[in-house]
Structure 1
Amino acid sequence: MRKLAPQAPLRRALKFVSALTVAATMAVATTLPAYASPQSFVADLWPEAQARGVSRAIFEQAFANFTPSQRVMDLTRSQPEVTKTTGQYLASAVSSARITTGRSMRGEWSQTLNAIEQRWGVQAEVVLAIWGMETNFGSYMGGNNVIHALATLTYGDYRRDFFKNELLTALQILTAGHITPNEMVGSWAGAMGHTQFMPTSFVAYAVDFNGDGRRNIWTSIPDALASTANYLREHGWRAGETWGYEVQLPANFDYGRAWDIGKQSLAQWAAMGVTRTGGRSFPRPTDQAEIFMPAGGNGPVFLLLPNFSVIKRYNNSNNYALAVGHLADRILGTGGFVHPFPANEVGLSRNDRTEIQRLLLARGYDVGTPDGIIGSKTRAGIIAFQRANGLLADGYPSSALLARLR
């Protein structure tokens, strides 16, 4: 395709950008100050896009009617007012409706999922669980124009280098013909398609499973699911293994020692009296595992295997990874957790955790500098306080602990 001559007048580089009204420009100017105008931002971007092989026609089409979105910038600053506990998070993420839909999708896409599992070694239920978590099985993929959203973030100087690279990469994806600009929809932060790939992840891990010459994670469910499996495998997924096990702790369990240990073999955990719920045995005693107590010793406790960390490469959240693993198990047909989450537990904000640290310091427990981050010194201080007051010494910073300290 013919490229625009470098000496072409600036007006040709800008003619495809819609003129902003004075009111609209003033409305975003207070929070989008990085460039003099959207027009100058787009003009400055073109040489970099051109250097990456982006088609001029695609560039103009992608930026047609571009106006920085105040809503996108507002979302960069929005924080949830309510902090959910893990139990509350799972109740929503692994709902009965999502489990039912997941099982239905497993039947509908069984041939595709079986082929994906055979090729990449990732269980069908895990792929389905990520699909369910990311877009509720494709029912909502974000609805934002990805180019315009990424351009807004770059223009607004929000993590500019990161989002500028994602923006240029998205333009390359369009130039390669995998999708059209109007069909490239995603989240406000640029995560795209059925299983929400960022553009750079798309380039690295998306696959053309249906063989039509395009890697289409927006309208081809086989491509989207296969891309997810490929992503997990490339990040170390261990075929034929699960994410972890719910376990039963002995009455005299040493929580402090468990926190200090970190990872050890399942056989070593068993030697400490840790057993798998339901009377089942660990299939591979040599597997390395770490303990995870999202509600302390008064809720379900897990031994996490390497695949749990792989799920976190998709979303670096323990709650997210636990939800994916549990949803996959429920789609497979297993029951819920044996031990329930505490019914009256309230989620703690960082300010709440900082207050726990300050109150422990005031009582003479050395927890370091109060910063809201629960590290080894804070856990040791919590355990010491719990032991001194006849509480379960699990080192867990709960709302009940905060109330007791107050």
Structure 2
Amino acid sequence: MQRLSSLCLAATLAAPALAQDASFHQCLDGLRPTARANGVNETTFRAHTDSLQPLMSVIGNLDAQPEFKTPIWDYLTVLVDPQRVEEGAQRLQQNAELLQRVQQRFGVDPATVVAVWGVESNYGQGFGKTPIVQSLATLSCYGRRQAYFRTEFYSALRLLQAGHFPAERLQGSWAGAFGHTQFMPSTYERLAVDFDGDGRADLIDSVPDALASTANFLQRAGWRQELPWGFEVKLPEGFSVLGEGRRTKRPGSEWTARGVQRVDGTPVPADMSLGLLAPAGAQGPAFLVTRNFDAIYSYNAAESYGLAIAHLADRLRGGGPFATPWPTDDLGLTRAERRELQTLLLARGHDIGEVDGLLGEKTRSAVRAEQTRLGWEANGRAGQKLLRALRGG
């Protein structure tokens, strides 16, 4: 009787998974004609989809992207931390000759190219481990933006069909980006460059190809070599940022007339077309940005992402932190501080897994437990206040 009950339970648990797998393959069958119309032959489609299973974990990521969910002071603290600045300076030196050739051909400066590399894959140290055909197939059948992900799914299949990469190497982010600078498959098809002269554009194993392809992307997105991305400014008392943004560009002379000043004291260029970016409102850091910021933004359509790239590039040129503080009394943690926090949580008996500086669900659960112990709101956010409290015992 007990064995029969166990078998019944196993069958009950397996039923939803089997139904989901069936619906997934029904969806893929429906995509077959469109895939063929988009240049994917039947042999390729079957080879990469017949035994494919949905990867449902990627669906939750659609509404949890850090560019949109994380406070900007947390987002920038981890992406533009001392470790990333130091390693970026090393990459600039190691690849100086290559980056000079990239700049000569595409007109994009070394610091900006290396900043994209640093933010996208931590200078090639983290490509992502998700099989992108599986991920894109799942996103093509479930969740939001299915039309977009189907385009990328067909593109990924074409890359495999053309022999650009073996299937086992085509791994990357949950959303389908791959390589040193995390190109989507369709972006690879449009803009990937063979810069090392071996006859193929390889963003996975060739740093020259990846960096040149990134510069090509930015150039095609409207990058102008003679322009900065923008600069930090000081707003006059009572200035309203309502209705302003990177797309609402005005001549520098107009910003000057309205009392906006550069924080370094130099004049705002009178004829330069500039939009005002104030990601935390008028009380936080504010920036006048050019079309070069828009080019960075197009790499990953989020202003916090664009600001991370731009700020890291400035730091790699020797610049310092923003002059205006963020409007918060609890700043975020650098990666080194995140690792310290995890070590302190482990010492308190929390099962958080590996100390890696990545604040996954186990770490957030431990953070909530400690916040409850301290009588704080248990929101799972790890900031400077919690780190200080745990340091104190």
Shorter-chain TM-score bucket reads 0.7 to 0.9
Structure 2: gaps of 5 or more residues:
1-9, 333-393
Distance 1:155 1:318, change over 3 A: closer
Q: For 1:22 and 1:48, how far apart are their aligned partners in 2?
A: 35
Larger Rg: 1
- SS of the equivalent of 1:133 reads helix
Q: Distance in 1 between matches of 2:232 and 2:312?
A: 14
Shift of 1:37: 5.3
Give the equivalent residue in structure 2 for 1:313: 298
Indicate conservation of the 8 Å contact 2:24/2:54, yes or no. no
* TM-score (normalizing by structure 1): 0.71
Pick one of 288, 292, 304 that aligns with 2:273.
Answer: 288
| Equivalent in the alignment of 1:352 | none
Residue in 2 that maps onto 1:273: 259
TM-score relative to the length of structure 2: 0.73
Which amino acid counterpart does residue 290 of structure 1 have in structure 2?
A: G
| Partner amino acid, structure 2, of 1:118 | Q
Paired with 2:312 and 2:54, the residues of 1 have a C-alpha distance of: 37
Looking at structure 2, the residues matched to 256 and 133 of structure 1 have their Cα atoms a distance apart, in angstroms, of 28
After superposition, residues 5-404 of structure 1 pair within 5 angstroms as 26-28=15-17, 32=20, 36=23, 38=25, 40-43=26-29, 45-54=31-40, 58-63=44-49, 65-76=51-62, 78=64, 83-156=69-142, 158-251=144-237, 254-255=239-240, 259=244, 262-282=248-268, 284-344=269-329
Tell me: CA distance 1:273–1:49, structure 2 relative to 1, closer, same or farther (3 Å): closer
CA distance in 2, matches of 1:248, 1:159: 39
SS in structure 1 at match of 2:233: strand
Residues 283-332 of structure 1 show CA distances to partners (whole Å, capped at 9, x for unaligned) of x4200112222233332221111111111111221111111110000011
Residues 65, 327 of structure 1: alpha-carbon distance in 2 compared, 3 angstrom cutoff: same
Aligned residues: 321
Structure 1 unmatched ranges of 5 or more: 1-20, 348-406
Q: SS of the counterpart of 2:264? A: helix
Please say if residues 28 and 141 of structure 2, whose CA atoms lie closer than 8 Å, have aligned partners that are also in contact: no
Corresponding residue SS for 1:177: coil
CA change 1:37–1:269 in 2 (3 A) is closer
Q: Which residue of 2 aligns with 1:392?
A: none
Q: 1:23 to 1:49 in 2, by over 3 A?
A: farther
Aligned-residue Cα RMSD (Å) equals: 3.0
Residue in 1 that maps onto 2:377? none
Alignment correspondent of 1:3: none
Aligned to 1:401: none
* Superposed CA offset, 1:162-203 (max 9, x none): 222211111111122221111111111111211111111111
Q: 1:58: Cα distance to partner?
A: 4.4
1:119 deviation in Å? 0.7
2: CA distance, partners of 1:173 / 1:299 = 44
